[in-house]
Structure 1
């Protein structure tokens, strides 16, 4: 079955009528439907499917073993995300297995497809949570204590999904069995459009993280409180949003506030607190840190001017990831001198890159848009990516 046909089966799963696009978050009904779909598709191909202790799904061609070749991606999304970020890599992996089987190929070493849990952090706030847990990049207690917006902890959600929070965390045996990992992903930018090529090899991922700024003031009545008597946390929060753009421009970095939540959130109520979340990233980790330090100082200044205070919490950080140079060179040669591209988007492959030999392939996105409904990949490019992935798996798993 073609990769595009596999993706078409997911068209109606998790559509978001309010935001547009898709909202698929770990363990919610839509994401569970996608997990079931993957299990059905993998078993139909004779693969052995199971969930690991961190809710990542594995489908093995033959039994697990040492020096395994692993590919895959994720099925969850950001709120109102596109159709390709994550699912393309999973569908392409299934399509690559079809291509290999059609030629009578039998792997000479263990081969698996993995679906990582909570890659986007859309429910519990920490991106790449499944791969971070697997690799020990986040400890079990910290992960299990994470809460979604409804107050449910990751431990509670994992238990409700059939997992055991007491067993979550680093899995050195499973991780140590991975000999090579490759993740195929839709490009989140216009590099391949400008190059006129359908597939690229990734070089690196910008260092990036998420920080929560909590501004605390005094809740009060919007009509009965004179301006001079207010300690309104929305004002320093708003000024910090503007300061984030200015700081990023000064440092040639990227900084975004995509979420801002006042409490209690009434139209005629001065907020008692306001939370905003900053996403900051840059080619150098020192630059990312400099942006956050500058913005923290500005936030404190703005809070004092309004009679408020601010607390800043780092919720996640991934240092700049450089993919294995040997694998990059091998993929470039194997794929007819495919161009090499860096990316500003985080991926499970980036988390794994410090533990196992890791690489990535990108498929052209004609819109250059991602994390939004206009994200796209043409069917011909999806099939080109699948063919490239099949060629890589054939070489590595022979």
Structure 2
């Protein structure tokens, strides 16, 4: 298994495009410095929000922002910002950025590359002497992954006014530490989250660079992914209720085996998305079997479905078809099925004019593009509900993500940064 290292990054140095104002060796060095903070024995990275590891990486990143002359500040919950003042600071700003927290034993590029790319893009504009009309603000959002408190996209949701003080007490980590306790231990003020809110009319556009976390760009040999929409996830739980019986003494025709029902259901779920939309997906990633004994016919099995699409109507129609399938299977097997709705986040479409700016930037540098949806959630999904938002994808080797094997080559990183530079400057002068 190959994992992140600076030496591996620099193997592709001769193939790196020249980007005015950016040294690819410096980019590799900074990625390596971040990857060393929270490194695991397996070569992955674990950086949870409101921990010493997160604090350390943010201090490093703050230093980099200050070193290029950005106006740096932190809000009441720990979102970190750096401003490159424009010629007309009274205009709504352009915002760019991502996150520095990780999943358990995650990779070196998810979130971190987006933050670093935004920093290097601003550094390049400063070195090139390009002063935008609008202020460009770099945002490092706290707790995008939700790994510690199961409360993902937290920083961007707070910024857009979606979180109240009262809701914070509902979240705690595996050790019983509540979200407010963890925040206060790091010097933040959970009772003042309203001070972190930004008005949508103060933000002209948001742009996030991210690794694809999929295989399309690499398999098709494309340099840049232009995201046309971010699929909104909707979770639904289906609990089949049959009869718990002895595995040896119960004839096959007299069983009400909920595992068998769940297996039939899961197989059906896999086939449904393609009948609704080319961008629809549905996944069963969680199954709970009760009592979960080798020699026991299960009388209760819970299956959780994650359904996504960039079109909300087709996603919801697919969910209704999935629900009908569960009910039909339960009826045919003389069982009951309990259905419980979970989270449901609306998908976000990327405006055509932002997609066009990304495409034009790529074309100027001779980079091939592919329009594609984002199946994963990102801070751009939250901000994009209120503000025109776009995403630039760079290839992920073999689609690996959320693991130590996560990898994007240095030339692909530099290509993405070049497109980000041009697109940011165009947006800031629009």
Task: Pick the TM interval, shorter chain.
Answer: 0.7 to 0.9
Counterparts of 1:76 and 1:278 in 2: how far apart (Å)? Answer: 26
Alignment of 1:336-355 (within 5 A): 336=363, 339-343=369-373, 344-355=375-386
Match of 2:213 in 1: 188
Structure 1 residues 296 and 384, CA gap change in structure 2 (3 angstroms): same
* Partner of residue 8 from structure 1, selected from 32, 35, 39: 32
Counterparts of 1:81 and 1:355 in 2: how far apart (Å)? Answer: 30
Deviations 1:287-313 (A, max 9, x none): 322443444566678889798874624
Alignment of 1:132-143 (within 5 A): 132-143=157-168
Please state whether the residue corresponding to 1:145 is helix, strand or coil.
coil
Q: TM-score, normalised by structure 1?
A: 0.81
Residue-pair matches, total: 394
Counterparts of 1:73 and 1:308 in 2: how far apart (Å)? Answer: 44
* Partner of residue 22 from structure 1, selected from 35, 45, 67: 45
* Partner of residue 60 from structure 1, selected from 58, 76, 83: 83
Counterparts of 1:61 and 1:43 in 2: how far apart (Å)? Answer: 11
Match of 2:59 in 1: 36
Q: For the aligned residues, what is the CA RMSD?
A: 3.9
Deviations 1:52-106 (A, max 9, x none): 2343211122497541121101112233332211111111111112222222334
Match of 2:71 in 1: 48
Deviations 1:307-340 (A, max 9, x none): 887462413x322211122222223223316534
Please state whether the residue corresponding to 1:10 is helix, strand or coil.
helix
CA drift of 1:224 comes to: 12
Match of 1:325 in 2: 352
Query: Is residue 206 of structure 2 the alignment partner of residue 206 of structure 1?
Result: no
Counterparts of 2:29 and 2:346 in 1: how far apart (Å)? Answer: 36
* Partner of residue 392 from structure 1, selected from 423, 426, 429: 423
Structure 1 residues 291 and 200, CA gap change in structure 2 (3 angstroms): closer
Match of 1:254 in 2: 281
CA drift of 1:362 comes to: 1.3
Query: Is residue 103 of structure 2 the alignment partner of residue 75 of structure 1?
Result: no
Deviations 1:203-243 (A, max 9, x none): 1122323445678999x9x9999879x99987776666555
Range with greater deviation from structure 2 (4-13 or 167-176): 167-176
Q: TM-score, normalised by structure 2?
A: 0.75
Alignment of 1:115-134 (within 5 A): 115-134=140-159
Work out whether residues 226 and 391 of structure 2, in 8 Å CA contact, stay in contact via their aligned partners in 1. yes
Range with greater deviation from structure 2 (166-175 or 72-81): 166-175
Counterparts of 2:45 and 2:239 in 1: how far apart (Å)? Answer: 28
Range with greater deviation from structure 2 (168-177 or 36-45): 168-177
Please state whether the residue corresponding to 1:96 is helix, strand or coil.
helix
Alignment of 1:153-232 (within 5 A): 153-168=178-193, 173-211=198-236
Work out whether residues 211 and 393 of structure 2, in 8 Å CA contact, stay in contact via their aligned partners in 1. yes
Structure 1 residues 234 and 35, CA gap change in structure 2 (3 angstroms): farther
Work out whether residues 60 and 111 of structure 1, in 8 Å CA contact, stay in contact via their aligned partners in 2. yes
Counterparts of 2:157 and 2:355 in 1: how far apart (Å)? Answer: 23
Deviations 1:150-194 (A, max 9, x none): 444333333333222222259554543212211111122233334
Counterparts of 1:156 and 1:269 in 2: how far apart (Å)? Answer: 43
Please state whether the residue corresponding to 2:398 is helix, strand or coil.
coil
Query: Is residue 315 of structure 2 the alignment partner of residue 288 of structure 1?
Result: yes
Structure 1 residues 68 and 369, CA gap change in structure 2 (3 angstroms): same
* Partner of residue 100 from structure 1, selected from 107, 119, 125: 125
Match of 1:89 in 2: 114
Range with greater deviation from structure 2 (141-150 or 375-384): 141-150
Please state whether the residue corresponding to 1:120 is helix, strand or coil.
coil
Please, which runs of 5 or more residues in structure 1 have no aligned partner? Answer: none
Match of 1:278 in 2: 305
Counterparts of 2:377 and 2:386 in 1: how far apart (Å)? Answer: 16
Match of 1:381 in 2: 412
Match of 2:20 in 1: none
Counterparts of 1:234 and 1:30 in 2: how far apart (Å)? Answer: 42
Match of 2:8 in 1: none
Please state whether the residue corresponding to 1:50 is helix, strand or coil.
strand
